[in-house]
Structure 1
């Protein structure tokens, strides 16, 4: 971190989340990269697609610097949540390439403008739509890290891969047996707390006792 260069700090934090998100796609089949793993349809490639639009919007259009990228999910006939998944005929490579172009466009905006530059968010209510570049970047950093956390969980559910990236897991040491022991300990604590609080209500779930 560089206390004399807040832009550099923001860029470093944002890039770490960008990189983590793309790493979560590595080595997956087309199905696993795209399939919904929550009741609300959250999926890995959809998170990447969504965040491309976030960067192009908040760090492009908002400051009068449109990218010119066609975003089909903004079309009038696009269905709800159309930015949150990739169509069957949309390649993984094209989504990742769009995200990387969005990075470059957002970074160019950050390079070109002062952090106190005021922009107008097109989709916010009129009269409450002004935002500084500093605020917009912080919003994008927060959103990207939030979705990188979603990606962490989705990838772990798919094949057990966990951690920040392939070179730095940022997890305590332990093999599969150690993690299973830890998980069982957490499960026991949860069931014990439940019995103490609601002794007549059975604990629900699929984990063994």
Structure 2
């Protein structure tokens, strides 16, 4: 059991990162990029988004510069001005493997900030109305944000090929469930109510 607060936060951060990345395993480039919602959400875009989120929160917030500002997956203010969804999709010339490698580089960068600073270290988030924060607040915020996006990825991946759960080796789903029968039962309950 991990009782040291920073180590505990880091463990949760790593768990949600890996949960998100395994949702890409074994999925082809087309399916990783295909918009799956009316707002265009796609698996690869989620990973690019969270990578840029981590750069922002663990970099400039604490006066630390991302070492590769010209990296093709980094989104800056000019990119957002041209396309407010710039970090939610990946250009065709960038492979899924490159996106994963980029996110792993970002993780190393973020982890260095977490390792180098105490949880009480202060920083400033310019896009927040009350921008003064501590590292503890930022790590917690990023865990919540990543968990939300990992949940999006859970649903998208299940819709692609039925892969579901927390990890490849631990699904967190009950064994022996007749899923088609379960879904049919839920459908019967829902259909008792009018549409719309």
Change (3 A) 1:72 1:38: same
| Residue 90 (structure 1) aligns with | 94
Q: How does 1:45-84 map to 2 (within 5 A)?
A: 45-70=44-69, 71-74=73-76, 76-77=78-79, 78-84=82-88
Who is 2:180 aligned against?
180
How far 1:168 moved relative to its partner? Answer: 0.6
TM-score (norm 2): 0.92
SS at the partner of 1:106? helix
Question: Unpaired segments of 5 or more residues in structure 2?
Answer: none
Instruction: State the shift of 1:75 in Å.
Output: 5.2
How far, CA to CA, are the matches of 2:68 and 2:127 in structure 1?
Answer: 17
In structure 1, C-alpha distance between the alignment counterparts of 2:104 and 2:74, rounded to whole Å: 17
Which of 137, 142, 145 is the aligned partner of 1:143? 145
**For 1:2-29, what per-residue CA distance to the aligned partner results, in whole angstroms no more than 9, with x for missing partners?**
22x1111111111111101111101111
What is the alpha-carbon distance in structure 2 between the residues aligned to residue 30 and residue 142 of structure 1?
A: 27
Equivalent-residue separation in structure 1 for 2:153 and 2:12 (angstroms): 17
Structure 1: 5+ residue stretches without partners: 195-200, 205-209
State the TM-score, normalizing by the size of structure 1: 0.87
Question: Aligned with 1:73: secondary structure?
Answer: coil
Name the structure 1 match of 2:30. Answer: 31
RMSD: 1.5
Higher relative contact order (CA 8 A, sep 6+): 2
Residue in structure 2 matching 1:161, options 160, 163, 176: 163
Preserved CA contact (<8 Å) 2:12 2:143:
yes
> How many residues get paired?
191
Taking the aligned partners of 1:69 and 1:142, their CA distance within structure 2 comes to 26
